[in-house]
Structure 1
Amino acid sequence: MLIDRYSRTIDYLRISVTDRCDLRCTYCMPKGFTEFEKPKHWLSFTEIERVVRQFAAMGTHHFRLTGGEPLLRKNIVELVERLKSIEGVHELSLSTNATQLEHYAHDLKRAGLDRINVSLDSLTRQGVAKITGFDAKDKVLAGLAAAKDAGFKHIKINMVPMQGINENEIDAVVKFCMQNHFILRLIELMPMGATAQNHQYINLQPIITRLSQELDLIPSARQYGKGPAQYWENAEGTFSMGYITPMSQHFCQSCNRVRLTVDGTLYMCLGQEQKYPLAPLLKAEVDDHTLQQAIRNAINLKPLQHDFVEQPLKLIRIMSSTGG
Structure 2
Amino acid sequence: MSALHPIRPQSPSKSPNQSQSQLVDPFGRHVDYLRVSVTDRCDFRCVYCMAETMTFLPKREVLSLEELDRLCSAFIARGVRKLRITGGEPLVRKNILWLFQRLGRHLEAGALDDLTLTTNGSQLTHYAPQLYAAGVRRVNVSLDTLDRAKFAAITRRGRLEQVLDGLKAAKKAGLEIKINAVALRGINDQEFDEMIRFCGIHGFDLTLIETMPLGEIEEDRTDRYLPLSAVRADLESRWTLTDSAYRTGGPARYMIIKETGRKLGFITPLTHNFCEGCNRVRLTCTGLLYLCLGQDDKADLRRVLRDKTYANDPRALDAALDLALDEAISRKPKGHDFVIERKGEGPALSRHMSVTGG
TM-score bracket, shorter-length normalisation:
over 0.9
SS of the aligned residue for 2:35 comes to strand
**How many Å apart are 1:238 and its aligned residue?**
2.4
- CA contact under 8 A between 1:126 and 1:135: conserved in structure 2? no
- CA contact under 8 A between 1:28 and 1:196: conserved in structure 2? no
Q: Which residue of 242, 248, 251 corresponds with 1:218? A: 242
Listed one character per residue, the Cα deviations across residues 63-87 of structure 1 (whole Å, up to 9, x for unaligned) are: 0000000000112111111011024
1:247 alignment counterpart: 270
TM-score by length of 1: 0.95
**How many Å apart are 1:196 and its aligned residue?**
8.2
Q: Which residue of 54, 74, 80 corresponds with 1:60? A: 80
**Separation (CA, whole Å) in 1 of partners of 2:188 and 2:174:** 30
Q: Which residue of 267, 273, 293 corresponds with 2:323? A: 293
Moved more, 62-71 or 202-211: 202-211
**Structure 1 residues 9 and 237, CA gap change in structure 2 (3 angstroms):** farther
Alignment of 1:144-223 (within 5 A): 144-153=167-176, 155-195=177-217, 198-199=220-221, 200-223=224-247
TM-score by length of 2: 0.86
| Larger Rg belongs to | 2
**Separation (CA, whole Å) in 2 of partners of 1:12 and 1:218:** 27
- CA contact under 8 A between 2:257 and 2:264: conserved in structure 1? no
Listed one character per residue, the Cα deviations across residues 160-200 of structure 1 (whole Å, up to 9, x for unaligned) are: 01111221111111111111110000001111122287223
Q: Which residue of 131, 134, 143 corresponds with 1:108? A: 131
SS of the aligned residue for 1:307 comes to coil
- CA contact under 8 A between 1:189 and 1:196: conserved in structure 2? no
**Separation (CA, whole Å) in 1 of partners of 2:75 and 2:263:** 31
**How many Å apart are 1:213 and its aligned residue?**
4.4
Q: Which residue of 16, 19, 27 corresponds with 2:37? A: 16
- CA contact under 8 A between 1:212 and 1:218: conserved in structure 2? no
Q: Which residue of 300, 309, 319 corresponds with 2:339? A: 309
Alignment of 1:88-127 (within 5 A): 88-127=111-150
Structure 1 residue ranges without an equivalent (≥5): none
Q: Which runs of at least 4 in structure 1 moved beyond 6 Å after TM superposition? A: none
**How many Å apart are 1:126 and its aligned residue?**
1.0
| Matched residue type, 2:318 | D
Listed one character per residue, the Cα deviations across residues 99-139 of structure 1 (whole Å, up to 9, x for unaligned) are: 11111001111111121000000111111011100241010
**Separation (CA, whole Å) in 1 of partners of 2:57 and 2:28:** 34
**How many Å apart are 1:310 and its aligned residue?**
7.4
**Separation (CA, whole Å) in 2 of partners of 1:213 and 1:290:** 55
Give the fraction of aligned pairs with identical amino acids, expressed as a percent: 45
**Separation (CA, whole Å) in 1 of partners of 2:89 and 2:133:** 20
**Separation (CA, whole Å) in 2 of partners of 1:135 and 1:148:** 21
SS of the aligned residue for 2:191 comes to helix
